[in-house]
Amino acid sequence: MNTALIIAVIVISIVVFSLKGTKPVAAASTMNKMIEITQKINVTMEMLHNILDKDKLNSYNEKYTYYYIGYIDAFARVMCEVDGIKYDKGIQVLIESQAGKLIFKNTDDNESYKKAVEALPGILNSEYGKKGVDDGKADAEYSYRDNIDGPPYTKARSYFGLPPLTRR
């Protein structure tokens, strides 16, 4: 079973469990919002992975990997808040999965995910993780909440030694 399918099953299971006892219309609306925010977070992670220095990101250098994990966690939290979705285990699974892929590459998907779940609190509380959280929140507030038309992900690109993106 591939990682994306496993994550989808986990997210849907968590959402369904959290909606137990909710009226069907409200549950469907919440489910649609969860699917939408999950897609937005996945697109954001994919975009960041493509616009940041892949060599630094994929090298498992804590300075960059922990920063990135903190950054995407904070960015996702702001996205959830703006879209009226509770950041919960269903959303955190996306961050844990990303951490597993970057940090525990030499293990199978299930094992890397388990290790990432255990490691995430330490990553987010590390020096580099905290910097990523601060920058991710600031960039998300600027580009996602305020919908500013300036260059996105400026702090992350700067941290990776890259110039800001230009809007077309």
Is 151 inside any structural domain? yes
Is 164 inside any structural domain? no
Number of domains forming the structure of the chain: 1
Residue 152 CB neighbours (<10 A): 20
Task: Write down the pLDDT at residue 1.
Answer: 45
What is the DSSP code (8-state) at residue 107? S
Average pLDDT (31-50) is: 89
Is 166 inside any structural domain? no
**pLDDT level of residue 77 (50, 70, 90 thresholds):** very high
- Which tens digits make up the pLDDT trace of 94-104? 999 899 888 88
What's this model's pTM, rounded to 2 decimal places? 0.81
Is 25 inside any structural domain? yes
Is 168 inside any structural domain? no
9 or 131, greater pLDDT = 131
Is 26 inside any structural domain? yes
Identify which of 40, 22, 143, 139 has the alpha carbon closest to the alpha carbon of residue 83. 40
Q: Is the pLDDT of residue 19 over 60?
A: no
Determine the structural domain holding residue 9 and report its residue range.
3-159
Is 18 inside any structural domain? yes
Task: Write down the pLDDT at residue 109.
Answer: 72
Is 167 inside any structural domain? no
Q: Is the pLDDT of residue 118 over 80?
A: yes
